[in-house]
Amino acid sequence: MKNLDRLVVRAPNWLGDAVMALPALAAVRRALPSTHLTVAAIAAIAPVFEEDTPVAPDALMVIADRRRETQILSEGKFDGSLLLTNSFRSAWTMKRAGIAERWGYSVNLRGFLLTRRQTRPHERVHQSKYYSVLVEGLGFEVDASLPRISVRADTARRADELLMKHGLTRSTRLVGFAPGAAYGHAKRWPPSRVADVAARVSAKLGAVSILFGAHGDREAGREIESSVPAGTMLVNLIGRTDLRQLAGILARCSAFVSNDSGAMHLAAAVGVPVTAIFGPTDERVTAPLGDHDVILQNVFCRPCMLRDCPIDHRCMKRISSDQVFESVSAHLAAAVID
């Protein structure tokens, strides 16, 4: 392993991937304690690394404008780079930035741009393992630890302030729901069933349901709000939190229900028991890591990986409200015992 003074790690561009890469990044940090380690991430992902993680970077470089990425990297005076992105563009950017050592997977015709290259796994592996295989091939030892994030005190304070605006105190039991998904509508469990579970969480478990998501999920949030019975304890925070507030509120939840999404991985990393609903995507690759419930139906057509279902969306519609509610109930019961 060549000694490096300044190493930059180009983080993945998706929230779930960034979380799943944490064990691999922690291995690099352990092996290079004296190297100045910078994590470079797009603005939507960078806040993950502002919380306490085992990566503990010396610096965080926020790429707010992809057009200036080469210039920003060149100003960092790095002598090494680790690419957790797969694109040709990211390798070409490191080359243009004058970074002598460039490590990553030899994919998308970019092998000639890398000074140390790895062949990606031929078999199907979990996405977290995908990153671990890369850094292990580079000589770093990855342990069996799970992705872990601890929210900082200022994050917890901001989360509490937002919850208090909705009348929720630290003694309120919270169950989070992420009814959307960035990949496409096929990944979304029907909002009417989310509403059914939220109503039962309120009536039978005495907990408040909180909806999370991006601006594009607001339609699903409105449908859920209009479907729950009067008196249901539900707060809609879709499009109203930044990433750090989301992490802080998730850390307050006793359970979390989600489609296959970045929020699902973030919830698992902050220590919340997750009920993960899988339809068209492959749970063998992106299931939340740890002791969580993965709910799916083994219909003939899944995992199809399609954004929109060309038939009857049976992979999601055959998952019942009872299955999800029973999982949530078990998680809340376990929290009381603990």
Q: Residue 184 sits in a domain of what CATH number?
A: 3.40.50.2000
Q: What percentage of the chain exceeds 70 in pLDDT?
A: 99
- Mean confidence (pLDDT) of the chain: 96
Q: Rounded distance, CA 22 to CA 17, Å?
A: 9
Residue 338 — very low, low, confident or very high, per pLDDT cuts 50/70/90?
A: low
Q: Answer yes or no: is 1 within a domain.
A: no
pLDDT for 251:
98
Q: What are the residues facing 256 on neighbouring strands?
A: 176, 274
pLDDT value at 228 more than 80: yes
Q: pLDDT: is 183 or 116 the higher one?
A: 116
Where is the domain boundary, 103, 137, 171?
137
Do 22 and 164 sit in the same domain of this protein? no
Q: Answer yes or no: is 280 within a domain.
A: yes
pLDDT for 337:
65
Q: What are the residues facing 36 on neighbouring strands?
A: 6
pLDDT for 72:
94
Q: What are the residues facing 35 on neighbouring strands?
A: none
Give tens-digit pLDDT for 298-316.
Answer: 999 999 999 999 999 999 9
Written as six digits, the tokens of 204 are 């039978």
Do 127 and 245 sit in the same domain of this protein? no
Helices first, then strands: H and E counts in the chain: 13, 12
Q: What percentage of the chain exceeds 90 in pLDDT?
A: 95
Closest C-alpha to 177, from 161, 156, 199: 199
Do 304 and 189 sit in the same domain of this protein? yes
Do 125 and 202 sit in the same domain of this protein? no
Number of domains in the chain: 2
pLDDT for 109:
97
pLDDT for 1:
55
Task: Work out the number of other CB atoms within 10 angstroms of the CB of residue 78.
Answer: 25
Do 109 and 160 sit in the same domain of this protein? no
Q: Answer yes or no: is 329 within a domain.
A: yes
Domain containing 164 equals 153-337
- DSSP-assigned letters across all residues of 63-124: ES-GGGHHHHHHHTT-SEEEE-S--HHHHHHHHHTT-SEEEEE--TT-GGG-SEEEPPPSS-
Residue 2 — very low, low, confident or very high, per pLDDT cuts 50/70/90?
A: low
Question: Three-state DSSP class for 112?
Answer: helix
Q: Rounded distance, CA 7 to CA 35, Å?
A: 7
What separation in angstroms does the CA of 152 have from each of 47, 147, 244, 247? Answer: 12, 16, 9, 10
Contact 237, 249 (CB under 8 A): yes
Do 203 and 80 sit in the same domain of this protein? no
- DSSP-assigned letters across all residues of 17-70: HHHHTHHHHHHHHHH-TTSEEEEEEETTTGGGGGSB-TT--SEEEEES-GGGHH
Q: Answer yes or no: is 145 within a domain.
A: no
Q: Rounded distance, CA 136 to CA 253, Å?
A: 35
Written as six digits, the tokens of 125 are 């592996």
Q: Answer yes or no: is 40 within a domain.
A: yes
Mean pLDDT across the stretch 161-187? Answer: 92
pLDDT for 335:
83
In angstroms, how far is CA 3 from the centroid of its own chain? 32
What is the pTM (predicted TM-score) of this model? 0.96
Mean pLDDT across the stretch 132-143? Answer: 96
**Cα-based angle 240, 164, 157 (whole degrees, multiple of 5):** 80
Mean pLDDT across the stretch 69-90? Answer: 97
The tally of CA atoms less than 13 A away on the side-chain side of residue 306 is 12
Residue 3 — very low, low, confident or very high, per pLDDT cuts 50/70/90?
A: confident
Find the Cα–Cα–Cα–Cα dihedral 129, 135, 140, 144, rounded to 10°. Answer: -10
Give tens-digit pLDDT for 25-76.
Answer: 999 999 999 999 999 999 999 999 999 999 999 999 999 998 899 999 999 9
Phi, psi of 113 (to 5 degrees): -85, -10
Helix axes 127-137, 22-31, angle to 10 degrees: 20
